[in-house]
Structure 1
Amino acid sequence: MIEVQEKAYDSEDVVRFLENMLEAVEGKITIIWDNSPIHKSKKIKEFLKSGAAKRIHLEALPGYAPELNPTEGIWNWLKKVELKNRCFSDIESLKQGVIEASGRLIEREDVRLGCVAECKYITS
C-alpha cells in the first residue's frame, strides 16, 4: 500500500498505519523506526496496550543514525534513480510521480533488500 499526504504525519496517522499493517500482514510484525516524538505518543501507547502489542514489536533507532535507517536508502533510490531529472508542474503531478515510482520499487525486491543490507541488518 502506498500512501501520500500533504500534511505532516501525526500519532493518529501512525495508529492508522499500524492498524493497516495488522490487517495486511499475518503473524508477528517488527517495525523499525526513528525516535520521532509521534512514535512515543500516548495514542500509540494506548493502541499497543489495547492488544496490538501481541503482534507488533517496535524497535527504535538511535537518536540520529541515518546509516541504520533503511528508509534513507529507499528515499535515495527514489530521488536518484526513479525521479532523477524529472520535473513536475504541480503538487498533484509530484504526488502521482512518487506513487508511480514507489509502485515500481515494490517490484524491486533486490533494491529493498539492498537498503536493509546496507544497514547491516541482513546480508544480501
Structure 2
Amino acid sequence: MFQDEARFGRINDVRRCWAPRPIRPLCQAMLTHEYTYAYAAVDVQRGVLDTLVLPHVNTDCMQLFLDEVARRHASEHIVMVLDGAGWHRSMALRVPANMHLLPLPPYAPELNPVEHLWDELREKYFHNRVFDSLDALEDHLVASLRATEQATEKVRSIVAWPWIIDALTK
C-alpha cells in the first residue's frame, strides 16, 4: 500500500467553468485559515482505498490511521510505502504487527501515486466550492472520500502505475 496525507481547508480553488452565453458564472473566493487533513492508503493492485479525516498531521494521528488500516486488513501483511515526514519516522510511532513501513527516497513525491488521488479529489469535488464552516468542509470531504473508496476501478486506474505493478508481480 502507498500512504499519504493531504490538507483541505476553507480556501477554495477558483477555476474556469462552463455557462451558456451570455451568462457569466459567479464563483466565490474564500481565504480562511482553517484546515483538516485526509489520510489515505491505497492497494495499487486492487484499487482498495482506506481513508480517515483527522484534525492534525502528527504522530498521534498517524498512529490512529495505521491502527485503523491494520484493523481493516487484519488478515494481510501490509508493506506501507510512505514519504519521510517527521511523524512517519517518530520513535513514538508503534507500527502494527501486520505492517512494515517502507520510506520513499527523500524529495520524491512524484513516486507516490496517492498524490494523484489528491489531484483527482480536488478537481472533481472541491473546485469552485466555498464552505460555511470547517464542519461543512469535513462533511463534504468525508462524502467525497467515501465515493472515491467505492470506485475501486477508478482508483486502480489512477494508482496502478506500470513500474509499481511490474515490481510487485516479478
Higher share of residues assigned strand: 2
The residue that corresponds to 1:17 in the other structure is: 65
2:151 and 2:90 map into 1 onto residues whose CA distance is 33
Asked whether the equivalents of residues 59 and 88 of structure 2 are also in contact (C-alpha less than 8 Å), the reply is: yes
Structure-2-length-normalised TM-score: 0.60
Q: Tell me which amino acid in the other structure corresponds to 1:78.
A: L
CA RMSD of aligned residues (A): 2.0
1:76 aligns with 2:124: no
3-state SS of the aligned residue for 2:65? Answer: helix
5+ long unaligned stretches in structure 2:
1-49
Identity %: 25
Q: Equivalences for 1:105-120 in 2 at 5 Å?
A: 105-118=148-161, 120=163
The residue that corresponds to 2:17 in the other structure is: none
Higher share of residues assigned helix: 1
Q: Deviations over 1:57-92 (max 9, x none)?
A: 211111122221122111101101122332212211
5+ long unaligned stretches in structure 1:
none
The residue that corresponds to 1:63 in the other structure is: 106
3-state SS of the aligned residue for 1:88? Answer: coil
2:162 and 2:63 map into 1 onto residues whose CA distance is 26
Structure-1-length-normalised TM-score: 0.80
Q: Which structure would you say has the larger RCO, counting Cα contacts within 8 Å and 6 or more residues apart?
A: 2
Report the number of matched residues: 116
The residue that corresponds to 2:141 in the other structure is: 98
Give the number of the structure whose alpha-carbon radius of gyration is greater.
2
Q: Tell me which amino acid in the other structure corresponds to 1:90.
A: S
